[in-house]
Chain A
Amino acid sequence: MSKKAVSLKQVTFKYKNSTKFAITNVSLEINADDFLLLVGYSGSGKSTLLKTINGLIPNFYAGTFGGSIKINGEDIIDKNPAQLAKQVGFVFQNPENQISNLTVEKEIAFPLENFGVPRNEIITRIDELVELLGIERIRYKSPFSISGGEQQLTAIAAALALDPPMLILDEVTAHLSPNSANDLLKILFKLNQEHDKTIILSEHRLDRCLNYVNKIAYIEQGKLKISGSLKEVLSSKEYPENLLPKVPRLFYELARKSNDFNNFSSKFRKSFNVENLPITISDFKKLMQIEGEYHD
């Protein structure tokens, strides 16, 4: 039984000057070793939900708030984001708008300076972080002369500077090329596996994350529809087909077709059961091999 990192109970929030609730009655438990993927259409309340965990809501944005949020068993409702910075690191979508210092190194030092950490400790922490994230090359560069992926890594380094046990990333790959997005996800996976960070990621393009995440939560119009392991969620009826990753979508497509055509063996048809839902390409290969329909 792993430790609970975050527990949300009946969290509801309505922005000031808005007529409808951004999120309603969201209850969610996140374990300390989780790599959670938050999925939903644009405007479904993903960002709002993430901001409640870091205290930006309700302390930075005015509005109506209800429910309770606990981080490591501690209630955080009246803590502002600055007080929570040691517990939660937050990385935003647009790398340009979250970097306010003129070199990468100073950007990483910024949170440490805010907390009054002595200078020599700041330097050792920067040394550690640039090595961990592989950004030694750009340490003394301006954040505006480096690529989007490197900017996002800088932002992650700054979020990790205070060594929070949890990292929240709000659509961080949206501005990146496919390659740098993959590299970024690999680094997040490493942080999750080797450095025991809880990672919560919201993302539109699911396919690239499937190899790394262990849990998924689907939110629709401010309501948390379903959450759980990949298989649980993707095989659920609550989950919309539009948002399915490629492999499960292909699986469902074939399942439908298998009833129409006679050239599929009955054994093959039987395997098209939701319980066998493949998530990744290698899962799919395995499924086909069991049924003897596919050979390398």
Chain B
Amino acid sequence: MSSKILEYFDYESDKSILHQVDPRGKALFVVVITCITILFRELVPLLLILGAIIPLTFLAHFFKKWMRTILILLPLILLIIIINALLLKVEYPTTIGIIMALRLIILTAVYGLFFQTVSPDDISQMLIKFRLPFTFAWAISTAYRFIPTLANETNIIMAAQKSRGLQIDRGNIFKRARNMVPLLIPIFASAMRRSWQLAEAIESRGWNATKNRTYLYSLKMKWWDYLVILVCLAIFGLFLFLVITQVDLPIWMQLYIPSKYELKELFKAAWDWIKGLFTK
């Protein structure tokens, strides 16, 4: 499970159209969509956003991976819908539940797209362009670079401790959590050792030798990047206009699930039906 979630954040070197877009443009896209998704409280606009993002996932060859992630998250999504539908004291609780779930689905798609198409090096280059110190950008890309190494080491330590008789997947959830302690100490110790050795190595390679660091590769905006940024800003502007002017959305956008089909009502009907079976 955990390794599958890490896989979701994996960068895949590919030559898709979205890979060629500057990471700054994509970062802006992520920010804009996140704002819009969180602030819209109607079902139809969210469905429209989702409809607009699905073609993008195909463009980035991300659709299959996204669907796998959604499958993993399915229990959580259903839980969000059910809890909201049953517990919220508003007019249309099921609709709100579905909106919440939709937000989650859209955000997984948007962030997944970003991490799928932006290499860790580009992320650090982007942070440098945003005037963040190099140390910080380097830390981010190095953390990313060590994920597979540490995952591999965790597997080795797990196998070693299992071969000494540690039972990791036995017992209830608390027991299992306690079983993890013999894993955490060696993992932590080896991560510490690694970080020391890495620090030694970068010190010996002239870390912070001069203030004016140069870069082998740095980001350059192309015409389509300006286009992407322009489109993102236009969408954001439209959204701000809608929020500030408080214009009522057209009727067809204010669609709700009718109270006849509220989850609460459906559950009640099902319960009555089951009760009926036994009273007869």
B192-244 interface with A by 8 A CB criterion: 194, 197-210, 212-217
Contact of A97 with B206 in the complex, beta carbons under 8 Å: no
B155-183 interface with A by 8 A CB criterion: none
Contact of A80 with B203 in the complex, beta carbons under 8 Å: yes
- Secondary structure at the B interface, as helix, strand, loop or mixed, is helix
Kindly provide the distance from the CB of B54 to the nearest chain A CB, expressed in whole angstroms. 30
Chain A residues in 8 Å Cβ range of B205: 85, 110-111, 114, 158-159, 161
| B254 interface contact, C-beta 8 A | no
B103-141 interface with A by 8 A CB criterion: 119-121, 138, 141
Contact of B142 with A111 in the complex, beta carbons under 8 Å: no
Kindly provide the distance from the CB of A266 to the nearest chain B CB, expressed in whole angstroms. 56
| B149 interface contact, C-beta 8 A | yes
| A174 interface contact, C-beta 8 A | no
The CA-CA distance from A81 to B200 in the complex, in Å, is 9
Chain B residues in 8 Å Cβ range of A264: none
Chain A residues in 8 Å Cβ range of B198: 97-98, 100
Kindly provide the distance from the CB of A129 to the nearest chain B CB, expressed in whole angstroms. 13
The CA-CA distance from A105 to B215 in the complex, in Å, is 12
Chain A residues in 8 Å Cβ range of B204: 54, 56, 81, 85, 88-90, 159
Evaluate whether A82 and B206 lie within 8 angstroms (CB atoms) in the complex, with A100-B142, A113-B214, A116-B212 already known. yes
Interface with B: A13-21, A69-77, A117-125, A278-286, which one? Answer: A117-125
The CA-CA distance from A158 to B148 in the complex, in Å, is 22
| A199 interface contact, C-beta 8 A | no
Binary flags per residue of A22-46, CB closer than 8 Å to B gives 1, else 0? 0000000000000000000000000
Chain A residues in 8 Å Cβ range of B148: 144
Closest to B200 in A: A56
Closest to B142 in A: A100
Residue from the list A100, A105, A114, A116 in contact with B201, Cβ < 8 A:
A100
Chain B residues in 8 Å Cβ range of A123: 216
Contact of B203 with A56 in the complex, beta carbons under 8 Å: yes
| B41 interface contact, C-beta 8 A | no
The CA-CA distance from A97 to B203 in the complex, in Å, is 13
Chain A residues in 8 Å Cβ range of B268: none
| B4 interface contact, C-beta 8 A | no
Closest to B205 in A: A111
Kindly provide the distance from the CB of A238 to the nearest chain B CB, expressed in whole angstroms. 31
Kindly provide the distance from the CB of A169 to the nearest chain B CB, expressed in whole angstroms. 12
Chain A residues in 8 Å Cβ range of B68: none
The CA-CA distance from A92 to B198 in the complex, in Å, is 10
- Please tell me the number of chain A residues within 8 Å of chain B, measured between CB atoms: 43
Kindly provide the distance from the CB of B122 to the nearest chain A CB, expressed in whole angstroms. 10
| A162 interface contact, C-beta 8 A | yes
| A290 interface contact, C-beta 8 A | no
Closest to B141 in A: A102
Evaluate whether A102 and B119 lie within 8 angstroms (CB atoms) in the complex, with A82-B206, A114-B210, A159-B205 already known. yes
Kindly provide the distance from the CB of B154 to the nearest chain A CB, expressed in whole angstroms. 15
| A219 interface contact, C-beta 8 A | no
Kindly provide the distance from the CB of A178 to the nearest chain B CB, expressed in whole angstroms. 23
The CA-CA distance from A110 to B198 in the complex, in Å, is 13
Evaluate whether A100 and B197 lie within 8 angstroms (CB atoms) in the complex, with A105-B216, A119-B215 already known. no
Kindly provide the distance from the CB of B9 to the nearest chain A CB, expressed in whole angstroms. 15
Kindly provide the distance from the CB of A53 to the nearest chain B CB, expressed in whole angstroms. 11
Kindly provide the distance from the CB of A130 to the nearest chain B CB, expressed in whole angstroms. 14
Closest to A88 in B: B204
Kindly provide the distance from the CB of A219 to the nearest chain B CB, expressed in whole angstroms. 20
Contact of B214 with A92 in the complex, beta carbons under 8 Å: no
The CA-CA distance from A81 to B56 in the complex, in Å, is 48
Contact of B209 with A82 in the complex, beta carbons under 8 Å: yes
The CA-CA distance from A109 to B214 in the complex, in Å, is 10
Contact of B206 with A162 in the complex, beta carbons under 8 Å: yes
Give the most central of B120, B142, B205: most A CB within 10 Å. B205
Kindly provide the distance from the CB of A264 to the nearest chain B CB, expressed in whole angstroms. 52
The CA-CA distance from A117 to B212 in the complex, in Å, is 9
Residue from the list B200, B215, B217 in contact with A92, Cβ < 8 A:
B200
The CA-CA distance from A117 to B142 in the complex, in Å, is 22
Chain B residues in 8 Å Cβ range of A118: 214
Kindly provide the distance from the CB of A292 to the nearest chain B CB, expressed in whole angstroms. 53
Chain B residues in 8 Å Cβ range of A85: 204-206, 209
B45-66 interface with A by 8 A CB criterion: none
Which of B's residues lie within 8 Å of A, judged by CB? 119-121, 138, 141-142, 145, 148-149, 194, 197-210, 212-217
6 tightest A-B CB contacts, nearest first: A98-B201, A85-B206, A97-B197, A114-B206, A90-B204, A109-B216
Q: List 11 A-B contacts (CB under 8 A).
A: A85-B204, A88-B204, A97-B197, A98-B201, A100-B145, A102-B141, A112-B216, A113-B214, A114-B208, A122-B214, A159-B204
Given contacts A90-B201, A116-B214, 13 further A-B contacts (CB under 8 A): A86-B206, A92-B201, A94-B197, A97-B198, A99-B201, A102-B141, A114-B205, A114-B209, A114-B210, A117-B214, A118-B214, A122-B216, A123-B216
